Amino acid sequence: MKIINKYILDELKGPIILAVFVFTFIFLLDIVVAMMEHIIVKGISIFDVLRLLSFYIPPILTQTIPIGMFLGIMICFTKFSRNSESVAMISTGMSIRSILRPIMAIAIGAAIFILFLQESIIPRSFVKLKYVGTKIAYENPVFQLKEKTFIDNLDQYSIYVDKVESDGKAKNIIAFEKPEDKTKFPMVLTGEEAFWKDNSIVLKQSQFISFDENGKKNLTGTFDEKRVVLTPYFENLNLKIKDVEALSITDLVKNIRKVESEEVLKYKIEIFRKLALIFSTVPLAVIGFCLSLGHHRISKKYSFVLAMIIIFAYIIFLNIGIVMASAGKIHPFIATWTPNVLLYFLGYKLYKAKEVRGI
């Protein structure tokens, strides 16, 4: 039996890893498309973009591991059924329960790994994501450039951007110098056009206006081109996690009593959502196993269609529940755990049907 269990585990690894990879790539597509703008238009290096993408992967994995494991189990046992290997396993005296044992081991292992991601890796990933994103923004301000935007997180200047062209150049810029003496009025720089180069903003057709201590115009001047060095003050930046999704279950439970009343609901939804994802691995593994186990002459296309329906139904019901819970229509536990309860019920029914029929 140990040899067969090892064989099943070895055969499951490839399809599960492939399925998780495919679903993770699909979930990343929107982010990748958004990042392409930064690469092509705003001049961000591919290396920096890949670093940013790597920090998005852990939270996505908590969603793609359960469904990837589900599809991977189906692929593996469909092959077993097609090659009559599942029939051979039953013929050697293995019961449905004994065949299911290594699958349950993978499901429990996946649940533990998701818990590890949620408690340890994801909070750090969000900190790193903000850290690297802010560093890129300071070193290359065009990264955060948007029309009708006031940029105030630079060390020496606050900048207003009226319009951004498709080539990344800005139009109608106003820059306010930040004086060391806060009681003094800032010098104002304007420019009809601007572009960024070597951590500096270059203003074309620029004008400057300074003011005296009473706020009256003191000095004015014009430049065909004015280079303003933007010194980043990133080294001493201390970032804290504020997004609810970035917090671990432990931190959510600890902080739920400290937050304002309107934030309590968000914390409860996130706690139950994270727990629901952890415990979804077991029923999905059982359902995938039961749908794919059978005689090789039985067509499997309907099983795969049903499998995709189950996957998308679970995702849709979970998201609908979260929306309704956020609106105060349903208790957060009911909203996030109803899809799980349905999965456990379906898994139990399919398992009992297979156990009665023997295969």
Q: Could you tell me which residues come within 8 angstroms of residue 349 by beta carbon, excluding any fewer than 6 positions away?
A: none
Question: Please, is 66 exposed, middle or buried when counting C-beta atoms within 10 Å of its C-beta (0-12, 13-18, 19+)?
Answer: buried
pLDDT score recorded for residue 236: 43
Query: How many Cβ atoms are within 10 Å of 199's Cβ, its own excluded?
Result: 13
Kindly state the tokens that stand for 308.
């995709």
Q: Could you tell me which residues come within 8 angstroms of residue 93 by beta carbon, excluding any fewer than 6 positions away?
A: none
pLDDT per position as a tens digit, 19-35: 999 999 988 887 777 67
pLDDT band at 234; cut points 50, 70, 90: very low
pLDDT score recorded for residue 244: 82
pLDDT at 46 over 70: yes
Query: How many Cβ atoms are within 10 Å of 22's Cβ, its own excluded?
Result: 14
> Coil, strand, or helix at residue 162?
strand
Q: What is the mean pLDDT of residues 71-90?
A: 80
Q: Record the pTM.
A: 0.72
- Length of the chain as a residue count: 359
pLDDT score recorded for residue 235: 44
Say if CB 291 and CB 74 are below 8 A apart: yes
pLDDT score recorded for residue 162: 76
CA distance 121 to 130: 14
CA distance 308 to 232: 49
> Coil, strand, or helix at residue 92?
coil
pLDDT at 143 over 70: no
* Nearest C-alpha neighbor of 114 from the set 280, 225, 247: 280
Write b or e for each residue in 278-295: b if 16 or more Cβ atoms lie within 10 A of its Cβ, otherwise e. bbbbbbbbbbbbbbbbbe
pLDDT at 81 over 60: yes
pLDDT band at 141; cut points 50, 70, 90: low
pLDDT per position as a tens digit, 192-228: 777 766 667 777 777 777 777 766 776 677 777 777 7
Cα→Cα distances 322→53, 60, 269, 283, Å? 25, 17, 7, 20
Amino acid at 8: I
How would you list the strands of the sheet with 200-211, edge to edge? 149-151, 157-164, 170-177, 188-197, 200-211, 217-229
The mean of the pLDDT values for the chain is 79
Q: What is the mean pLDDT of residues 171-175?
A: 78
pLDDT score recorded for residue 239: 45
pLDDT score recorded for residue 136: 67
pLDDT at 291 over 90: no
pLDDT score recorded for residue 99: 84
Share of the chain above pLDDT 70, in %: 75
pLDDT at 237 over 70: no
pLDDT at 301 over 70: no
Our CA angle for 342, 313, 357, nearest 5°, is 55
